[in-house]
Amino acid sequence: MSLHSNRRTRSVLDLIGNTPLIRLRSVERRAGGGVEIWAKCEFENPGGSVKDRAARQMILDALADGRLAGKTLIDSTSGNTGVAYSMIGAALGIPITLVMPANVSVARKNITRAYGTELVFSSELEGSDGAILLAQKMVDQEPDRYFYPNQYANPSNPKAHYLGTGAEILRALGDRITHFAAGVGTTGTIMGTGRRLKEHDRPIEVVAIEPDDALHGLEGLKHLPSSIVPAIWQPEGVVDRMLPIPTDEAWDAADLLCREEGVFVGHSAGANVAGACRVAREAGPGAVVVTVLPDRGDRYFAPMKWERQYVW
């Protein structure tokens, strides 16, 4: 049963957050036993992903201080943040324009359009960085038309996870958690959650997971050495170490979650779970590792050029 099923709410915004943790026992077995691996089910958010949290915080903070008044919100996105912006924009009557790489999944294009969002496409060859540059160009050309939250530089992004994700994990597991491992995209999840966990009394190791190569197939994640580094990425005192994960290992982990746990998630979730498994294996018995499942797998049905060829 959903945690939200017995709640009365005034808006879809009230359904964001307070997502459940699920214990991944099959992953624990692969890690060698004597460990616990928990995953935050962010696909339970109403927009279907962890990005609902950051989008809500960025929009509400901008409404509160007047930056969004009378303007269209524009931002670059590989998909999930765009869905969140679109959903919240529809609920609050805010026009949304999104800039995204042309090769994002058809599902994400269709979902955002369903909310009435205007889409602008950047080159698929330039990835998320190309979308960032095009969005910035559009804002520079019409500064009075657009409000540009810039999820990669907006402190409200990690703030959402500091106030929400990190606090929720501590309420659920308290003094038992030993490690937090999550992927880097905008870096908001790892920065905000990590900062909150580092304030806890017990030492908690924070591990940032990234693709192991610039030419990877993990949509939503960044290979930081070859990317525009987000301004909110300030790992000193928060992130203890980086953990590179190959694309194939992440894809395999996502497939196994579906087949062994009945949890159908995207490939960034696969990277997070593969990383959490490595962290637990290295730490050994007594480790309690928490990770994040950023979104559902159904948004990846439409194959892209770099994807495996599945037969359904």
State the first-to-last Cα distance of the chain, in angstroms, to the nearest integer.
29
The one-letter code for the residue type at 34 is: G
Is residue 51 flagged as an active site residue?
A: yes
Query: Judging by DSSP bridges, how do beta strands 36-41 and 241-245 pair with one another?
Result: unpaired
Q: Which member of 49, 76, 86, 268 is catalytic?
A: 268
Reduced to 3 states (helix: H, G, I; strand: E, B; else coil), residue 130 is helix
In sequence order, the β-bridge partners of residue 289 are: 37, 179
Cite the beta strand spans of 16-139 per DSSP E.
21-23, 36-41, 72-76, 96-101, 118-122
Cα 273 → chain centroid: 13
At residue 202, the 3 state secondary structure works out as coil
Amino acid (1-letter code) at residue 226: S
Give the separation between CA 209 and CA 273, rounded to whole angstroms.
Answer: 10
Both tokens of 183, joined, read 């992927």
Helix (H, G, I), strand (E, B) or coil at 181: strand
The single residue of 40, 51, 109, 222 carrying the catalytic annotation is: 51
Distance in angstroms (rounded) separating the CA atoms of residues 279 and 216: 21
Please check whether residue 106 is in contact with residue 299, taking contact to mean a CB–CB distance below 8 angstroms. Answer: no
Backbone torsions φ then ψ of 176, nearest 5 degrees: -80, -30
Q: What are phi and psi of 301, to 5 degrees?
A: -60, -45
Q: 175 CB contacts (<8 Å, ≥6 apart)?
A: 200, 201, 202
Please give the positions annotated as active site: 51, 268
